[in-house]
Amino acid sequence: MTRVDFHMHTTHSDGSYTPTELIRYCKVKGLGCVSVTDHDTISSFDEADEAAKDLGIELIPGVEISAQFEPGTLHILGFFMDRHQPKLKTVFEEIQKARRERNPQIIQKLNALGIDISMKDVIEEAYANTEGMADKQIGRPHFAKVLLKKGVIKTLEEAFDRYLGKGQPAYVDKRRVTSEEAINLINQAGGIASVAHPKQMKLAPDLLEKEIGKLVDQGLGGIEVYNSCQRPYENTIYQRIAKRFNLVQTGGSDFHGANKPDVDLGFLGDDVSLGYDMVEALRERIAKRSGRL
Ligand code: AMP
Ligand code: FE
Ligand code: FE
Ligand code: ZN
């Protein structure tokens, strides 16, 4: 069986593996078809694709877009987009700019809390293992790693729980697109949108179903039933929602390398393994849609 993993990050966002290293590790893990889903960028595709071709792995263009949402987190995965579509490029550039403006504000807040940390520390951390990359995306996991190295906290999780997480004293929100914008962006580039790790929306099942229904009206085509952060009893809830709205059931590990050390590549949850059927279901959905247009 061709094993698949449709959720993973590289040094182009907040993963610790370069695109080449990540694809090589996909090979080690026996994955046959994968999608690299960096946050708000597809810039790792060319490098990853070269490595994938060398190793006989099929690489599907992917992305994970952060959307506006309260009270939890709403990330929309996109697969199969034409990555040269101009609108996609423009919006991703705008999001990266907003991120660059946000980072010094996080430093200010940490400093105000008496923590000795500078933007230089975070930049050095973020650029580790990125040889020659011009525009590195810097995010909270890099702040967390600096705090860990400085001994301010003992685990990366603690950095979020005490300082960087939503509602914590060093949290700064960033510009996010609406879910509708994210889904349209993906659909207009010929892709299919799947809601990432629905668990992180932090809603009870009935409310979750309602919210997913709204996303379906906006053009959502899939739901990430399987993700390393979700347990089997939760998967059954997401499967039910998928059936109710006729969504493609996707799955991925959300591998970040050393930036999320307890999640290994290819791990989609206890005893979960997805095959090529998932890829065919996504393709079929896109084909059906374009037939209708
Ligand atoms: P940012 O894009 O800068 O807002 O950072 C978001 C990233 O931080 C996510 O993709 C996760 O990798 C990581 N993250 C967010 N919340 C947590 C948490 N509570 N524990 C560990 N990592 C987290
Ligand atoms: Fe991440
Ligand atoms: Fe995510
Ligand atoms: Zn992710």
Out of 136, 164, 192, a domain closes at: 164
Instruction: Tell me the CA–centroid distance for residue 124 and ligand 4, in Å.
Output: 22
* DSSP states along the chain: --EEE--B--TTTT-SS-HHHHHHHHHHTTEEEEEE--BT--TTHHHHHHHHHHHT-EEEEEEEEEE--SSS-EEEEEES--TT-HHHHHHHHHHHHHHHHHHHHHHHHHHHTT----HHHHHHHHTTT-TT-SS----HHHHHHHHHHTTS-SSHHHHIIIIISTTSTT------B-HHHHHHHHHHTT-EEEE--GGGG---HHHHHHHHHHHHHHT--EEEEEETT--HHHHHHHHHHHHHHT-EEEEE--B-GGGSTT--TT--STT----THHHHHHHHHHHHHHHH-
Kindly indicate the confidence band of residue 178, based on its pLDDT and cuts at 50, 70 and 90.
Answer: very high
Kindly indicate the confidence band of residue 71, based on its pLDDT and cuts at 50, 70 and 90.
Answer: confident
Look at the chain and report how many structural domains it folds into: 2
Residue 37 and residue 121 share a domain? no
Residue 74 and residue 197 share a domain? yes
| Digit-coded pLDDT (tens) for 272-293 | 999 999 999 999 999 998 875 4
Residue 73 and residue 191 share a domain? yes
Is residue 138 assigned to a domain?
yes
| CATH number of the CATH domain containing 147 | 1.10.150.650
Does residue 69 have its Cβ closer than 6 Å to ligand 1? no
| CATH number of the CATH domain containing 34 | 3.20.20.140
Q: How confident is the prediction for the chain on average, in pLDDT?
A: 95
Best residue among 153, 160, 175 to mutate for probing ligand 1, ranked by most atoms within 8 Å of CB: 160
Residue 208 and residue 275 share a domain? yes
Q: What percent of the chain has pLDDT over 90?
A: 87
Is residue 30 assigned to a domain?
yes
Ligand 3 (ion): which residues have CB within 5 A? 75, 196
Structural domain that includes position 158: 101-164
Is residue 61 assigned to a domain?
yes
Q: What is the pTM of this model?
A: 0.92
Nearest residue by C-alpha to atom 18 in ligand 1: 160
